[in-house]
Every structure is written in C-alpha cells, then in structure tokens.
Structure 1
C-alpha cells in the first residue's frame, strides 16, 4: 500500500475523500488528513508519505507553496492537486514543481480512480527500477571483489548480489565452509571483517540510490537490508559522516 496524505482546508472534503473513496482497492492507505500546507509539510517531515493529494488554495501555506517547497527539497513525494478553478497559471506552476496531476472540484469518482491508478503504475515501475538498480552489475569494483583468492571473490560476489539478506551462513553455503571459519578466513585474507565489508557494500548501494532522488529513505533502508529506518540512518551517518538527507543536499 502506498501512503497517502490529504490536505484541504474544507473539513467536509477532507473527511469525504479519506472516508468514502475505496483507496485500499487501488493500492493506497490514507495515513493522515490535514487542513493546510504547513501541517502537511510538518507531517511529511516526520512520517513516510508516498503521495500528497492537496488543495491548491489553503491558508497558512498554499498547495502551490507546498509543492514548491517539496520540489526545492527534492522530495520524492508525488503531488496531485485539487482545485475548484481551471486556472492556467496554477497549471503552469504545477508543471514547474513536478506535480503529477490536477483534479478539479467537485471531485468525481472516475477522475480520482483514473489519476491514482495511473500514479500507482508509475510508483510500481519506480520500485521495479529500485530492484534493478540493486543488481550486482551496478556495484563499483573494489580490491576485495577482485581479490586473487577465488574463495574471497566468491564471497564478495555473493555480498554484492545479495546484500539485502546476506549473512555468514549464506556465504558458507556458497563456498562450502563453516561460517566461523569463513569469518576468520575473510579477515585473514583481506584484513577486513566480513560484517564491515557487507556494511560497506550496503552503504555504497544506499548512497547510489539516494543520489538518484527517486526513493525515500525508508525504501532504501529496506532495500539494503535494514528493518528499521532509524538504525539505517544511524549507520549511514556513521559511515559517511552525514545523514541521508544531508547527503542528498550536499
């Protein structure tokens, strides 16, 4: 399910959109609904959100201002506008800030269904790209991957290909050695701990995916083998000296 945030200053519209449209049937979960762009931004800052459905004209921070802010921050959140007016200037700004679509009020079932079904297909394709980007052929060469010892090369290839779920036990099945022995052997031959090398592979892949600006931190965290996004952020900052957000902005 993709996480959907709804922002509209009219309570009746917020409630109607979040409660009466069958979002789950087309692959979405409404995680929150708020009354202005500022509250939407605050929610996005602290929670995972895939798609934002927001009114163009709201108090405190308009939909246009919110879309511009997300665009400047290179946020991966996909934005769909709601508006009661056909306004060419709004449409131009929407395109400029990467807004995916523009739904007119009063909203019609078919408009929402068609827009969000197409958007889901696009998001699914992006996820497929994430898996493709994680293929071993994309991994940069390193000294360990090109080691003269064939056992080390096999272990390195295994880690580059299966970094998400890789383990000593998994490596032992590849080279037919005892896991404890592999740990000592790897350290002896490379002067690097098995776990440290696996972490390096994961962090390099995470940096590559962050640089693409296509995926959220929690998606990348999961893709490189972390069940907890906070633990991933902590490990990434320890490795690169910057948080994932700081890394993107640098």
Structure 2
C-alpha cells in the first residue's frame, strides 16, 4: 500500500463519508483512503501528523468548512490537490473555490463517472508529465468501464441489506440518503443490476416477510404494520396480488 496515493475524505454526513470511502473503487486508481473527517479542523489535525496526497471535501461543514480548509491547505500544503463537493450548483461557490486553487468542484449527488474522470485527471497530473496521455479505462463488452459493474453491485447489495433490515420503513429516498446518491441514480443502478425496479424489490421483500410472519402466527393487522402498511385492507389487496391467496388462508 505504500505506493498508493493517500486520500482524506471530509464530509459532516456519515452516510456520504462511508459511501464515498467504501463503494468507490479507489484502489483501481492507485488511491488509498487513509482518514475520514467530519470537518476541516479534523483534516488539518490529521495532516499535521500524517502524509496526505489528495483531499476530497464537502464545502458546507461545521467548525471549518471546505473553503476555509482549502485556504489552509493551499498555504501549508500547496502540493496537495483539493476536490470540493457541494450540494449547490452555485456559481459564486464555484468561483470562490477556483480562486482558492481547488483542482475540481463537483456538485452532489456526484455520480461514478464524474468521480472517476476527476480523480483520473487529478492523479495523472500529480504523478505524470503534462505531455503524457492519461490511461484509458478498461472496458467490458458493452463499452462500460469494467469497474462500473463492481461499483454498481456494491451499491445494490448495500441497498438490499437496508431494505431487508428496515422492511417497514425502507424507501427510495432512504436508499438514496444511505448511499449519498440521488434517488433517480439509485433507481437506474438498481434496475441495471437486477432488471427489477426498486419499488418491485421493496414490494417483493415486504410480501415475502409478510408470508413468514403470518406462518409464525401473527395477525393480519400486525403483519401489515410490521411490513410498512398502515391500512390492513390495502395490505391484504397487495398480498393477494403477489401470493394469489388472501392473508388469512396463508396463516394455515
């Protein structure tokens, strides 16, 4: 790992920090995530004691935000590229960030392609002569970068676990918040990997859980509530559509 470029990720939202560090294939770019921070102050404290090659930070953070962090890093560690994330496609933010010397400015929810393209460019410029061409990503038969499929599968697996563990409250918005991606992007990835929509998977998971609960002796109303239905009548209708029988006979 010693030859890997060392990356610090800073964001005050734990879900986004975790998603960025765990779901993106950093090692394929020769990058190792060495520290996760909740604000700019934590980043600087870490950098005082440890070598860092790259920094990915949100603009809006408590204690010390991304712009303040960028200023401090530019003064103390001018060789370290800074990539900023923002939930706002705001021209003034972008202009200020560029004035402070950031290497890139990305808006949330950032997608795989943007992140891959940005870090390929930043790492290439950091370690290779300007005249050398950046390496092209390996592609699969469908023309997509090979690493996309592993990335998508990681996201989908995480969402499936989330749905099964939260069958009564799971939602597309919740899955988006969990992964730090937009709801539409999550929906697209889910369908691409499973050939099934998120709502169909959620319904399938709920109906299979409901059958299990009914066979364990739960009442129809309790089962409905436990799989996310406030109205037992609506639950019974969906259950029959899925299983072909009413919930009451299914208990036997």
Q: TM-score, normalised by structure 1?
A: 0.49
Q: TM-score, normalised by structure 2?
A: 0.49
